[in-house]
Amino acid sequence: MARINEPEPALEDTATTAWAASDETRYRLVGAELESQALREEVEGLRRALRTHPVIDMARGIIMATASCTPNEAWQVLVHVSQHTNVKLRDIAQRIVDAVGGPPPPRPVRTALRSALAALPDSTAR
């Protein structure tokens, strides 16, 4: 039973409490959406890596077999060509793999590839 002399909560206090709860809910929703977006981007990046990793490994193998170099040196060749042609590394790798049974890579890629291979240690033996 309510007491007659007991004061009712002020309407202002109720509104302040409601706004605070509403702000907290909005804050949590925005945080959850940002986290969800970051996770979607991470998943897409991992999917892309899974698609391109085999092609990059094949290109490294081709370079290793052609230039008698180490896996790390083959990687450095791919990085060098990518940086000097302004073409993504995965695209360079695909062009090298495609060139095994098809037309050679474009001239800028071939030029950068020759330059990178010449810079390898003991390049005169190749």
Q: Which of 123, 125, 39, 120 is nearest to 76 (CA)?
A: 120
- How would you write the pLDDT of the chain (126 residues) with one tens digit per residue? 555 555 555 555 666 776 766 777 887 888 888 898 999 999 998 898 888 889 999 999 999 999 999 999 999 999 999 999 999 999 999 999 999 988 889 999 999 999 999 998 875 444
pLDDT at position 125 is 42
Q: How far is CA 44 from the centre of its chain?
A: 8
pTM listed for this prediction = 0.62
Amino acid (1-letter code) at residue 42: E
Q: Which of 106, 126, 9 is nearest to 64 (CA)?
A: 126
